[in-house]
Amino acid sequence: STLSEYNDESFGYNFNNNLLYRHSFNKKGRTISFNSRTGINESDSDNDLLALNQYYEETGDVNDTVNQLTDAYSKGYSLAAELMYTEPISDFGQMYVRYRPSYSTNYSLSETYNYDYDYDTYSIFDTILSSEYNNDYFTNHLGTGLRFNTGKMNLMAGVAVQRADLISNPVFPETMDIEKKFTNILPDAMLRITFSRSSNLRAHYRSNTQAPSLSQLQNVVDNSNPLSMTAGNPNLKQSYSHTVMTRYQLSNIMRSKFMYILVYLRNTSDYISSATYTAARDTLIGEGIVLNRGSQLTIPVNVDGYWNARLFFTLGLPIEKIKSNLNFNTGITYSR
Task: Tell me the pLDDT tens digit for each residue of 170-188.
Answer: 888 778 788 889 999 999 9
Given pLDDT bands bounded at 50, 70 and 90, which one contains residue 310? very high
Termini Cα distance of the chain: 33
Type of residue found at 82:
E
- Residue 59 pLDDT > 90: no
Task: Tell me the pLDDT tens digit for each residue of 11-25.
Answer: 999 999 999 999 999
Nearest-angstrom CA–CA distance, 244 and 17? 29
Nearest-angstrom CA–CA distance, 285 and 298? 12
Task: Tell me the pLDDT tens digit for each residue of 84-112.
Answer: 999 999 888 999 999 999 999 999 999 99
Provide the 10 A C-beta neighbour count for residue 140: 14
* pLDDT, position 264: 98
Q: Supply φ then ψ for residue 36, to 5 degrees.
A: -130, 145
Assess contact for 214 and 236: CB atoms under 8 A: no
Assess contact for 101 and 126: CB atoms under 8 A: no
| Residues in CB range of 118: below 8 A, 6 or more apart | none
CA-to-CA separations, 324 to 75, 253, 314, 320, 327, in angstroms, rounded? 54, 14, 16, 6, 10
pTM of the full predicted structure?
Answer: 0.78
CA-to-CA separations, 271 to 139, 140, 168, 297, 305, in angstroms, rounded? 19, 22, 19, 19, 8
* pLDDT, position 287: 67
Type of residue found at 143:
G
Candidate ranges 32-41, 63-72, 106-115; pick with highest mean pLDDT: 32-41
Say which residue, 135 or 55, is predicted with more confidence. Answer: 135
- Residue 57 pLDDT > 80: no
At residue 28, the 3 state secondary structure works out as coil
Peptide bond into 101 cis (omega under 30): no
Q: Which of 200, 193, 199, 207 is nearest to 244 (CA)?
A: 207
Given pLDDT bands bounded at 50, 70 and 90, which one contains residue 278? very high
Say which residue, 198 or 85, is predicted with more confidence. Answer: 85
